[in-house]
Amino acid sequence: MATTQRYEALMLTVPEITQDETKNLETELDRIVQGTKGSTISFEKWGKYRLAYPVRNNDYGVYFLMRFEMPQGATALDDMRNLFTVKLHELIMRTMMTRLDVDGSLAYQRPKSLEEMPAAGDVNAFLKEHKMEGLLSSVDRKRPASKPEATQNDDTPNSSVDA
């Protein structure tokens, strides 16, 4: 009996991805995994995030995480890479494939996406929820105007003269 390997594929897509394109992506990846007698553990849309730097002239991207198991030695990883680079090259901006420990936990904690973040009007509620109420209170207080520091005029003659 062949041993199974557990993998995850993290994909960064263009921010304009549609629901139909998302469903097609999931279907294509699931087809590849099942073709090796493997199984999909999960396929999750993490959401839209602001990127640290532009990727293909996009400041934002949508992340997806797929976790799957398949027999050791299967060629599905190469098939997935080909799918990303050839068929879905306009949709997928970046990918990362990682082999996971078969006995390891699948638990993770991801940051909130832009869709999950509070709206601009909910800033006070967000600060209160995260126990940061005092963060903006110091900005709201009016500060007294400080006196400008005295500067020395370079045109004044120097009292000490070197002989």
What's residue 16's pLDDT?
A: 96
Q: Which among 92, 109, 106 is positioned nearest to 25, based on CA atoms?
A: 92
| Residue segments in the chain with a per-residue pLDDT below the cut of 50 | 1, 151, 153-163
DSSP secondary structure letters along 79-123: HHHHIIIIITTTTEEEEEEEEE-TTS------PPPTTTSPPGGGH
Q: How many CB atoms are located within 10 Å of the residue 153 CB?
A: 6
pTM, two decimal places: 0.66
Q: How far is CA 129 from the centre of its chain?
A: 23
| Distance separating alpha carbons of residues 138 and 50, to the nearest angstrom | 28
What's residue 79's pLDDT?
A: 92
Which residue's structure tokens are 């557990």? 6
Domain limits, the chain: 4-100
Q: What is the dihedral of CA 2, 81, 52, 65, to 10 degrees?
A: -40
What's residue 63's pLDDT?
A: 96
| Distance separating alpha carbons of residues 36 and 1, to the nearest angstrom | 14
What's residue 140's pLDDT?
A: 53
CATH topology classification for 4-100: Alpha-Beta Plaits (3.30.70)
Strand partners, 67: 8, 42
What's residue 74's pLDDT?
A: 78
| Distance separating alpha carbons of residues 57 and 139, to the nearest angstrom | 35
What's residue 104's pLDDT?
A: 77
| Distance separating alpha carbons of residues 50 and 60, to the nearest angstrom | 4
What's residue 121's pLDDT?
A: 56
| Distance separating alpha carbons of residues 151 and 116, to the nearest angstrom | 51
